[in-house]
Structure 1
């Protein structure tokens, strides 16, 4: 065979390979379009049933943003539709973003995960109980600080401990507030500046902020209580790492992508962040019975049913509810935000439609859409 025939055969072979790949890609795109249409239809049904005025969703597939969409209204009695650019309260989805910045300080040698925070900054609020001096950044990020979620009197300067640091899992926003103060001491900067410089700007989260920005005023979601009534909108002037992040589904997807393909942190650091630090109970309200497949990493939850590993977190600021789950090896994720007290009721259905798989975290949070439907029907 002469060279012309050889190269001709080579070219034909690669032409057919290229054609096959193109057709497969087109078929996949068509399939995705059909799936997303079904998702749109079902999401609207779920929102109607749960009386959720607005929802924004972002879906990651093959390590890139594959789909984003807004549903419903920013306010029940308005005509402004939710879009991919609508700003929602991220609530506790603030915590993983803060953990990401904390781990940057760890990489730089400015913060030791296992050094007592007391040695960086004594905390007068907890000074009545010397056990607090054993709290470390690792224990805060894995929710083993011993602090309650929030003190009984939010105006009180006194913070009591529920158990000795490191003893067990105990979800705590108070721990994140203490760690926030330590980070401010270490960096010599207000925490909002730290987060803007280290996370939001580098990741391109241009529609996000831990304090209210004037740019949010054009397109933000209003909160709705369990009666469907609009509540006053919280517009933070002080950043709180436990709950004050305001963002969009697309912006939060940028953060998730930075974990799936480590960006801004070394792969080894992200691996540590996404490794089990503490074991969770089967139910959030019951600390006695441990779940065999639920854990907490450094700032984010872990589900490990069978051989799969998902990362997850939920957000609950009362009249704002949100959820994120990502499959580590498939590089897939779903992020959604709602402006309703009922926004988490159908998280299980959205996960079934988008990611599939088993999600024991839903049981931990007590989320079961079918039970919620039965409750409403029986009333």
Structure 2
């Protein structure tokens, strides 16, 4: 009995001992001990008043470290943990892109077939999208490739344009990050296949990649362990509970689950070489000073040094450690970021339930993987330091 107890104790304690000895490799080849990283991230979360943070770090295409900091429910002092479901916001977009590319590979869609050819009715007969009928010639030029590379000319959000979704640029000419464009892609997928996007996502992504805490819409099982979100002044926003799929940003997930998806992309699994070549090659070079807001129309060459571009569903840049792909996720109070360096086998996934995350992202990326190359200025994260 004593030997059995000793064995059970060792099985229980060994993972804790092993965790203490993890060396996390940074991009430059140097390492940081996981305990030191844990301490530094914990201090940063506290000092920066970040409500809660989930982090998953990938080395050699495997999750080598995952941890959670802060609270999922500040009022009731409930700690965030690695299984706490977070709102993914625009981290949904790469997943929706992967889904679409899977359907392309099955011969259901084509990247360059005009989107109107996949619709059952003229665009003006769809209440949500009827504004696109005001310029039928331009609308008929839009392809899925344009939607996925944010070159369709559709606005970021209709609410910023008098609640209309008119084109703000000629299709194929300019990069304008567009939630509306990706949501239209999701609508097109559902319209043409006759299936709900959440069902397709489970079949094509979540179940094969064992993303057990992830879904396109809110699930009752999430009630056991979900996160509230908080504004920068500490006021509670609450939790996002999307009841219908939106390809641009309805997903809920965890950092560990999303790491499974990122590793899949890094290893180029689930799609053909040709499909990954399309996803991860520049579809358009980015010349704007910012990805969003009033500076989106200001032109600069400052990002040429990193070859900042957009592929299909992900942003792209070049670093001293090879090509990288990234995406941000920005909700009312939830703020997220992920970046991968496939040639190094290194990535980090960061989910937060706090409006105070983005202005501290630079420090967090440097601590986690030594990333000082992500285009945070273009994303507007560094602007927040001036607030």
Residues 283 and 153 (structure 1), Cα distance of their counterparts in 2 relative to 1, 3 Å cut:
closer
CA deviation profile, 1:87-127 (whole Å, cap 9, x unmatched): 10000000000000000111111111011101112433211
Aligned to 1:200, which of 179, 202, 206? 206
> Which 10-residue stretch deviates more, 217-226 or 37-46?
37-46
What SS does structure 1 have at the residue aligned with 2:308?
Answer: strand
TM-score of the superposed pair, with normalisation by structure 2: 0.84
> Which 10-residue stretch deviates more, 84-93 or 233-242?
233-242
Which blocks of at least 5 consecutive residues in structure 2 are unaligned?
1-17, 25-30
Residues 30 and 189 (structure 1), Cα distance of their counterparts in 2 relative to 1, 3 Å cut:
closer
Aligned to 2:105: 107
Distance in 1 between residues matched to 2:267 and 2:321, nearest whole Å: 20
Residues 360 and 338 (structure 1), Cα distance of their counterparts in 2 relative to 1, 3 Å cut:
closer
Residues 30 and 260 (structure 1), Cα distance of their counterparts in 2 relative to 1, 3 Å cut:
closer
Aligned to 2:152, which of 145, 152, 158? 145
How many residues are treated as equivalent by the alignment?
Answer: 346
Shift of 1:305: 3.4
Aligned to 2:115: 117
Aligned to 1:275: 281
What SS does structure 1 have at the residue aligned with 2:201?
Answer: helix
Aligned to 1:289: 300
Aligned to 1:6: none
Aligned to 2:319: 305
> Which 10-residue stretch deviates more, 176-185 or 116-125?
116-125
Q: Is the 8 A contact 1:50 1:345 kept in 2?
A: no
- Asked if 1:266 is matched to 2:278, the reply is no
What SS does structure 1 have at the residue aligned with 2:140?
Answer: helix
Aligned to 2:87: 89
Q: Is the 8 A contact 1:332 1:355 kept in 2?
A: yes
Aligned to 1:359, which of 364, 373, 379? 373
User: After the TM superposition, which residues 314-333 of structure 1 pair with which residues of structure 2 at under 5 Å, given as runs?
Assistant: 314-333=328-347
User: After the TM superposition, which residues 231-270 of structure 1 pair with which residues of structure 2 at under 5 Å, given as runs?
Assistant: 231-270=237-276
Shift of 1:270: 1.7
User: After the TM superposition, which residues 157-172 of structure 1 pair with which residues of structure 2 at under 5 Å, given as runs?
Assistant: 158-172=164-178
Shift of 1:289: 2.1
Aligned to 2:192: 186
CA RMSD of aligned residues (A): 2.1
Aligned to 1:74: 72
Q: Is the 8 A contact 2:365 2:372 kept in 1?
A: no
Which blocks of at least 5 consecutive residues in structure 1 are unaligned?
1-25
Distance in 1 between residues matched to 2:105 and 2:315, nearest whole Å: 21
Shift of 1:30: 5.0
What SS does structure 1 have at the residue aligned with 2:274?
Answer: helix
Distance in 1 between residues matched to 2:148 and 2:77, nearest whole Å: 41
What SS does structure 1 have at the residue aligned with 2:68?
Answer: strand
TM-score of the superposed pair, with normalisation by structure 1: 0.86
